[in-house]
Amino acid sequence: MNSAIEVQDLVVIRGGKEVLHGLCAHIPRGGITGLLGPSGSGKTTLLRSIVGVQRVKSGRVTVLGEEAGSPALRRKVGYFTQSPSIYADMTVRENVRYFASFYGLGRAEAEKAIEEVGLQEQAGQIVRTLSGGQHNRASLACALVSRPELLILDEPTVGLDPVLREELWSHFRQLAADGTTLVVSSHVMDEANRCDRLILIREGAVVADDTPAAIKSRTGTDDLDRAFLTLVQQDKVEVA
């Protein structure tokens, strides 16, 4: 099976408003798929649906051959959220060991995850004293500790300086090379070129689902910002 995720006719209502409108998407196994779009376009809602923590009105989401949110997926899927997901009054090491315990894993696996995100020197530091970039990496270590087949990352680089962004993307690329499937959301179009495949989303609907090269070729531009705007205009014309 070469599909990591299949989304079929997904409709989600939040706060009394429909935010995903029969959305369909296919994400293959392996590599990095970027979920790109402006803030408020529905990216986080889609990711929440994929990991099974979002109530949906209709449609179907299949993850690694299982229904989204199935118990069988708990160790196979790692999830990095925008909101704080680790404990501020615990050290980095304590947090990662705590998350490791959910999967029956021990100290060795926790230390490996800490090392992979480059926080060995901060392992004994209380999380609330970390910088923003260190906090992000600590959260990532907690998501990585189970060695997931699929890693869902919701805007992991937001607010980070260029050096930290580069370090994280290098790590994402290494994970993909080792066989992990990654889905990375962002509203920063320059990150799109780092992905193997892109899903461009606007106002709860997919406007493109292809490789960066194919999207640029389709729109006749080497600039993905311009490509996105072109696709949005084309979509408006088709709807009209």
Q: Does position 238 have pLDDT exceeding 80, yes or no?
A: no
Q: Residues 211, 186: contact at Cβ < 8 Å? A: no
Helix (H) or strand (E) run with residue 164 in it: helix 162-177
Query: Confidence class of residue 235 from pLDDT cuts 50, 70 and 90?
Result: low
Query: Confidence class of residue 157 from pLDDT cuts 50, 70 and 90?
Result: confident
Query: Confidence class of residue 116 from pLDDT cuts 50, 70 and 90?
Result: confident
Instruction: Label residue 225 left, alpha or beta by phi (over 0 means left) and psi (-120 to 50 means alpha).
Output: alpha
Q: What is the mean pLDDT of the chain?
A: 90
Tens of pLDDT, residue by residue over 19-49, are: 999 999 999 999 999 999 888 899 999 999 9
Query: Confidence class of residue 14 from pLDDT cuts 50, 70 and 90?
Result: very high
Distance from C-alpha of 187 to C-alpha of 182, rounded to nearest angstrom: 16
Q: Does position 136 have pLDDT exceeding 60, yes or no?
A: yes
Tens of pLDDT, residue by residue over 162-214, are: 887 888 888 899 999 999 999 999 888 778 889 999 999 999 999 999 999 99
**The whole model's pTM is what?**
0.89
Query: Confidence class of residue 239 from pLDDT cuts 50, 70 and 90?
Result: very low
Burial 129-154 (b: 16+ CB within 10 A, else e): ebeebbbbbbbbbbbbbbbbbbbbbb
Q: Does position 240 have pLDDT exceeding 50, yes or no?
A: no
Tens of pLDDT, residue by residue over 44-63, are: 999 999 999 999 999 999 99
Tens of pLDDT, residue by residue over 74-96, are: 889 999 987 767 999 999 999 99
Ordered structural domains, the chain, with CATH: 1-76+187-240 (3.40.50.300)
Distance from C-alpha of 54 to C-alpha of 34, rounded to nearest angstrom: 20
